[in-house]
Amino acid sequence: MFTVGDIAFPTKGNAVACAQAINKRATLGQILTGKAGAFFRGLIDLHPNRDKKLARGCIGICIRQNYAIHLDRGPHIVPNDTDIDDVWISPDAQTVPFSYRVTLGMTKNKNNISIAARHTVDGSVKGFAKKAFAGRTTVNCVVTGAPLTRDKCHVDHAHPWPFKRIVDCFFEGSVPEVEQQYRFERSWPFADPDDAVCVIAYRFTDGDVAQRFLTFHDKVAVLHIVSPAVNLGKRDA
């Protein structure tokens, strides 16, 4: 038996199916009522960041697109200070997103944590490469010794702190909330903006979590320049 608020399910899997169905079928921007509203309100109480999510109170729950160019949808808390017209949430309303996947321990979130972690340290990794190539056109791969240009190298997390270990040690089994975001990138700096491609990325919802992870990463990470083949595990002769 798995209970969410006052609603009992035979298994957690049934609760997952219920959350997915409501998330998919609910009218965007309308506050959930009845059992659907009670169910998602119960999910908030099970969320690991419950108190932070409810810091501004809760009028109700609605399903919204997370970003203006975002195709995904998910539950949002409607805070007490939200200005709404009737029961419809205005496009610019400052609602608070939360992940039912985190609450229900859905494994899909685990892969996204690593993506969010890499997004968080992107500035540090690029900064290392910029410093390594300062005043130089090539840097030798630390494994093969081959000269590498800036656009033909990777920055690797070396022993004893490979990136997976950094992530695992920092979170120690906890499941931080991540949110999906879209950004547009051009493959070449002078390409036509219309040729930009949409890239899916993830980031930590809690900025404090992101900052603490970045601090931990920068303290323990051992970075070095390697060839793409070495970084991807292909040891060319």
- What pLDDT, on a 0 to 100 scale, did the predictor assign at position 174? 78
Query: What average pLDDT is seen over the chain?
Result: 82
Tens-digit pLDDT profile for residues 39-73: 999 999 998 888 989 999 999 999 987 544 344 67
From 54, 77, 103, give the residue that closes a domain: 103
17 and 75 together in one domain? yes
Question: Phi and psi of 103, rounded to 5°?
Answer: -60, -45
Task: Report the chain's terminal Cα–Cα distance, integer Å.
Answer: 57
Among candidate residues 116, 10, 22, 28, the one with its CA nearest the CA of residue 64: 28
| Most confident range, picked from 111-115, 195-199, 224-228 | 224-228
173 and 210 together in one domain? yes
- Please check the confidence at residue 196 and state whether its pLDDT lies above 70: no
- What pLDDT, on a 0 to 100 scale, did the predictor assign at position 232? 78
- Confidence (pTM): 0.55
Residues 6+ apart with CB under 8 A from 94: 79, 82
- Distances in Å between the Cα of 237 and the Cα atoms of 145, 153, 156, 229 are 12, 17, 19, 11
80 and 152 together in one domain? no
For helices 108-120 and 122-132, angle between their N-to-C axes, nearest 10 degrees: 40
- What pLDDT, on a 0 to 100 scale, did the predictor assign at position 188? 39
Domain that holds residue 151: 108-231
- What pLDDT, on a 0 to 100 scale, did the predictor assign at position 3? 92
Query: At 97, is the secondary structure helix, strand, or coil?
Result: strand
150 and 87 together in one domain? no
180 and 137 together in one domain? yes
Higher pLDDT, 93 or 211: 211
- What pLDDT, on a 0 to 100 scale, did the predictor assign at position 68? 40
Q: What mean pLDDT do residues 101-105 have?
A: 80
CATH number of the domain bearing residue 26:
3.10.450.40
- Please check the confidence at residue 156 and state whether its pLDDT lies above 90: yes
pLDDT band at 84 (very low <50, low <70, confident <90, very high): low
- Please check the confidence at residue 203 and state whether its pLDDT lies above 50: yes
Query: What b/e readout covers 26-60, taking b as 16+ CB neighbours within 10 angstroms?
Result: beebebbeeebbbbbbbbbebbebeeebbebebbb
27 and 74 together in one domain? yes
| Alpha helical stretches, state H, the chain | 12-25, 34-46, 50-53, 100-103, 108-120, 122-132, 163-171, 207-220, 228-231
Total structural domains in the chain? 2
Q: Is 237 inside any structural domain?
A: no
From 103, 130, 155, give the residue that closes a domain: 103
Cβ pair 143, 236 in contact under 8 A? no
70 and 159 together in one domain? no
- What pLDDT, on a 0 to 100 scale, did the predictor assign at position 194? 45
Cβ pair 100, 19 in contact under 8 A? yes
- What pLDDT, on a 0 to 100 scale, did the predictor assign at position 204? 87
The dihedral sign for the CA sequence 2, 16, 39, 34: negative
Cα dihedral 60→62→68→71 (10° resolution): 150
98 and 112 together in one domain? no
Q: What is the DSSP letter of 30?
A: B
Tens-digit pLDDT profile for residues 144-153: 999 999 988 9
- Please check the confidence at residue 179 and state whether its pLDDT lies above 60: yes
